[in-house]
A and B are shown apart, each in its own frame.
Chain A
Amino acid sequence: MKTVKEKHALLMRWTHWVNFPVLAIMIWSGLLIYWANGVYTISIFGYTVFKFFPKEFYKYFDLGRHLAEGMAFHFFFMWFFAINGLLYILYTVFSGAWRELVPQKKSFREAWEVVLHDLHIRNTLPPQNKYNAAQRIAYTAIIIMGFGSLVTGLAIYKPVQFHWITSLCGGYHFARILHFALTIGYVLFFVIHIVQVVLAGWNNFRSVISGFEIVQVMSATNTPNIYPTPHSDAAGCDDEPENNPTEA
């Protein structure tokens, strides 16, 4: 029969969906700013492999000659980005939800198994709780990256008043490179995230709007298998309490 598994808290859902358009506006306005000195390239042995960005890219998205406009938007929406991220972190810390988020010792080995599974190299998945090991690593990394964007952003926004932050980021010049690289990281994250969401299906997607997942429980005699997996040991992997003896 069906049972309901509460998955995502209301605040997690709000901050997730607020972040989506805010980050999109930050990336867009950031590109308007970057255009004015778009000097970064990927070079191997002195040979330029890729230029950020090709002319056609700027032209297609109409990113040229809007530096002032880009700065005006960037220095407005930075507040939403910061406040939204802060809300999420405060909630995650104080609700105890961080336990389901931050990677554990075993996560790095398991994450590799998740990757192999997703690439159809391996048949079985390691235990899936609210977040699997790969998700723990990816979602924790994206939070750290967000924090990194704020810090490197402040380092290039007020490099004299907050000179110590600029120094921590390796100086003004390097902080701008970091700030840019983090943004490229978001775009890569986004692409993988979308693919995974599509593959995970409707039940999973809906849980980020409605908060719950519907779980089919096959038999009343077995331990309810909340996240069924093809893994042979999956019978014991209901996640409350988590079946990790080291965590108790």
Chain B
Amino acid sequence: MENQKSAEEIEEEKLDRKLNRRNFLSFATFAAVGAAAVGGWKWLYHADIEPRKITGFTREPLRDVLNKNETLFRKFFSHDHLVKTYPKSEAVKNVRINSLIGLEKEGFDADTWELNVQKSKDQILKLRLDDLKKLPKTEIVFDFKCVEGWDQIQHWGGVKFADFMAHYQLHNQAKMEYVGMKTPNSKYYIGMDMESALHPQTILAYEMNGRPLTIEHGAPLRLIVPVKYGIKNLKRIGTISFSNERPPDFWARLGYDYYSGL
């Protein structure tokens, strides 16, 4: 009996040693990986902010990831993927005004406004609103999405950007990678990939709810690009340009994703 008990005790001691060893290894691994995770987080949280150029205000590793996400999700982009459209009756009457940047009074006169299309470095096509109104009109009622998180069903009308490019024979420009747009005073500016610009639902809008645009909504001409967040939907277009490098972008320079595609 006594012999048996001590055998049991020996077994138990052996087991204890084994378990202690296992616990030590497990907890040491847990602590080491935990410390590495904290270290990794600190590195990321205190990573250098990118220089403010085309984009800005974001930690460099995070900007890299945003750009890699863009590369990945652009593979899913298709001109056949359309934003859902609604009947006109569902469009809101009180369209939200979220920002007036670039709409300052100085240097703007609706009567003398012209759209500058920068065909090349020294070739500018100047257009009046009446020129654009001669082109086929496209209307869209869709759920406009703001990067802040709100959305609103809105009704816009104007010239399809692809129609505009075709009509003015901007074929070479359409082969470039990016479109840039800015307000006449250059205070608000956006850049976007050509495929989004040529998406069949992207329009240069001059009407909202069937009436000419109001100043706050970007009169006389604004961009409506349903495959992007509202931040890319520039109001009061002054200049349109084309390039193979990303044009500077107002909100991307303040830390937002350059692509901002939906």
Interface, chain A (partner B; CB < 8 A):
1-2, 4, 17, 21, 25, 33-34, 36-37, 39, 67-69, 71-73, 75-76, 158-163, 166-167, 171-173, 176, 206, 209-212, 214
A162-B76, A163-B84 are contacts. A68–B262 as well, Cβ < 8 Å?
no
Residue from A67, A69, A163, A210 within 8 A of B26 (CB atoms): A210
Contacts of B19 in A (CB 8 A): 4, 212, 214
In this assembly, does B166 line the interface, its C-beta being within 8 Å of a C-beta of chain A?
no
Give residues of chain B (164-182) contacting chain A, Cβ–Cβ below 8 Å: none
| Inter-chain contact A37/B150, CB cutoff 8 Å | yes
Residue from B23, B30, B255 within 8 A of A68 (CB atoms): B255
In this assembly, does B158 line the interface, its C-beta being within 8 Å of a C-beta of chain A?
no
Give residues of chain B (65-94) contacting chain A, Cβ–Cβ below 8 Å: 65-66, 69, 73, 76-78, 81-84
| Inter-chain contact B147/A67, CB cutoff 8 Å | yes
| Inter-chain contact B148/A36, CB cutoff 8 Å | yes
| Inter-chain contact A75/B143, CB cutoff 8 Å | no
In this assembly, does B209 line the interface, its C-beta being within 8 Å of a C-beta of chain A?
no
| Inter-chain contact A159/B145, CB cutoff 8 Å | yes
| Bound Cα distance A109, B182 (Å) | 64
Give residues of chain B (238-262) contacting chain A, Cβ–Cβ below 8 Å: 251, 254-257, 261-262
Give residues of chain B (106-145) contacting chain A, Cβ–Cβ below 8 Å: 143, 145
| Inter-chain contact A37/B149, CB cutoff 8 Å | yes
In this assembly, does B227 line the interface, its C-beta being within 8 Å of a C-beta of chain A?
yes
| Inter-chain contact A76/B62, CB cutoff 8 Å | yes
| Inter-chain contact B227/A160, CB cutoff 8 Å | yes
Best-buried of B11, B16, B69 by chain A (most CB within 10 Å): B69
Best-buried of A68, A71, A75, A162 by chain B (most CB within 10 Å): A68
Separation in Å of the A67 CB from the closest CB of chain B? 7
Q: Which 3 A-B pairs have the closest CB atoms?
A: A37-B149, A68-B255, A36-B148
How many residue pairs link A and B with beta carbons under 8 A? The number is 103
Separation in Å of the A184 CB from the closest CB of chain B? 16
| Bound Cα distance A159, B226 (Å) | 10
A37-B148, A159-B262, A173-B143 are contacts. A72–B11 as well, Cβ < 8 Å?
no
In this assembly, does B187 line the interface, its C-beta being within 8 Å of a C-beta of chain A?
no
A sample of 29 inter-chain contacts (CB < 8 A) reads A1-B8, A1-B11, A21-B41, A37-B146, A37-B148, A39-B149, A68-B251, A68-B254, A69-B255, A72-B59, A72-B65, A72-B255, A75-B66, A75-B69, A76-B61, A159-B83, A159-B145, A160-B226, A161-B73, A161-B78, A161-B261, A163-B83, A171-B84, A172-B151, A173-B143, A209-B26, A209-B30, A210-B23, A211-B22
Contacts of A171 in B (CB 8 A): 84, 143
| Inter-chain contact A163/B12, CB cutoff 8 Å | no
Separation in Å of the B1 CB from the closest CB of chain A? 14
Contacts of B76 in A (CB 8 A): 158, 161-162
Residue from A21, A161, A176, A206 within 8 A of B149 (CB atoms): A176
Contacts of B143 in A (CB 8 A): 171-173
Residue from B16, B65, B151 within 8 A of A75 (CB atoms): B65
Contacts of A161 in B (CB 8 A): 73, 76-78, 81, 261-262
Contacts of B34 in A (CB 8 A): 17
| Inter-chain contact B149/A17, CB cutoff 8 Å | no
Residue of A nearest to B63 (CB): A72
| Bound Cα distance A210, B63 (Å) | 38
Separation in Å of the A119 CB from the closest CB of chain B? 32
Contacts of B100 in A (CB 8 A): none
In this assembly, does B101 line the interface, its C-beta being within 8 Å of a C-beta of chain A?
no
Contacts of A2 in B (CB 8 A): 12, 15-16
